[in-house]
Amino acid sequence: MQFKKKVLIVNEAGFHIRAALLIVKESEKFKSDIKVRNKDIEADGKSIMGLLTLGAGLGAEIEIKADGPDAKEAIARLSKVISDRFGEEK
Which residues form the catalytic set?
A: 16
Contact 11, 86 (CB under 8 A): yes
What is the rounded CA–CA span in Å between residue 90 and residue 80? 15
Cα R_g (the chain), whole angstroms: 12
What is the rounded CA–CA span in Å between residue 57 and residue 17? 12
Q: Which of 74, 61, 79 is nearest to 1 (CA)?
A: 74
